[in-house]
Amino acid sequence: MIIKNLKDEKSVLKGYNMLLYFAGSLIMYEPDDECVVDFWSRGILKRLPVRSNNPRFIKAASQLRDSCNDISVCREILQNDFKRLFSTPFPALAPPVKSFYMDKSAPDHSNNEPVADFYNSYGWKKRTRYDIPDDNLGIELLFLTLLVDKYISFEDEACRSEMRNEIKRFIRQHVLSWLPQWNLRMQEYSNTEGYKGIANLIHASCEDIYEVMDKKIQYGDQPEELRN
């Protein structure tokens, strides 16, 4: 990943936020006609808002572009996969909740701290309107986009530095601490390339955002075709 300057960094992060917002909604709710059309038919997948050399991101882009050739039946197929993977009272094959994957007896208690504590430290109360558990992946991704938006809005470098650390801490403790296990189940149990691609896209995007926040990226001129 090459980022030329602060302006480009903000543009890249806005692109990842757009992807996570759409992907997160497909984890929380059954795909409807509008969602399928917006995500697959109106250009978001035809021209992704960011480029990444993360192999997982490249795989996700390939899976998603090949996943929904017939829009007329795509929604039904995705809805059936949603129910198999996520829904209760059925035995969900890939529950998108952190508590399903975390070993509460593990000596590293940092990963077992309630994610609600992180939300509360930022006064984020609106999550309750979704009537979804706090450790649901969709809720976590929504909160992550809010943190990234806050980071983008800061002009002061000291504030930006502090927020970078907070975003890394959130991703490390509450997302990537269990997301790889969930993604493995998604690749194994999903019947659709669409949901396999969504899982890889979420995983790669969180890795890439962490990399941007960790400043382990190359700054410099980039070819015109790689610019957002």
Q: Indicate if the pLDDT at residue 226 is higher than 50.
A: no
Number of domains in the chain: 1
What pairs with residue 3 in β-bridges? 219
Its domain, for residue 205, covers 2-226
Query: How many secondary structure helices (H) and strands (E) does the chain include?
Result: 10, 2
- The tokens of 173 are what? 């403790």
Residue 48 is predicted with a pLDDT of: 79
* pTM to 2 decimal places: 0.88
Rounded-to-integer distance, Cα 205 and Cα 212, Å: 10
- Percentage of the chain modeled with pLDDT above 70: 85
Rounded-to-integer distance, Cα 47 and Cα 19, Å: 12
CA diameter of the chain: 52
Instruction: Assign residue 29 a region (left: φ > 0; alpha: ψ between -120 and 50; beta: otherwise).
Output: beta
pLDDT single digits (tens) 108-154 = 544 567 999 999 999 998 888 888 899 999 999 999 999 999 999 99
82-91, 186-195, 212-221: range with lowest mean pLDDT: 212-221
Helices within 104-154 (DSSP H only): 115-121, 137-153
pLDDT single digits (tens) 30-47 = 988 777 777 776 656 667
Residue type, 154: F
Q: Which has more pLDDT, 40 or 100?
A: 100
Rounded-to-integer distance, Cα 98 and Cα 178, Å: 6
CATH number at residue 99: 1.10.3480.10
Contact by Cβ (8 Å): 61, 48: yes
Q: Which has more pLDDT, 107 or 177?
A: 177
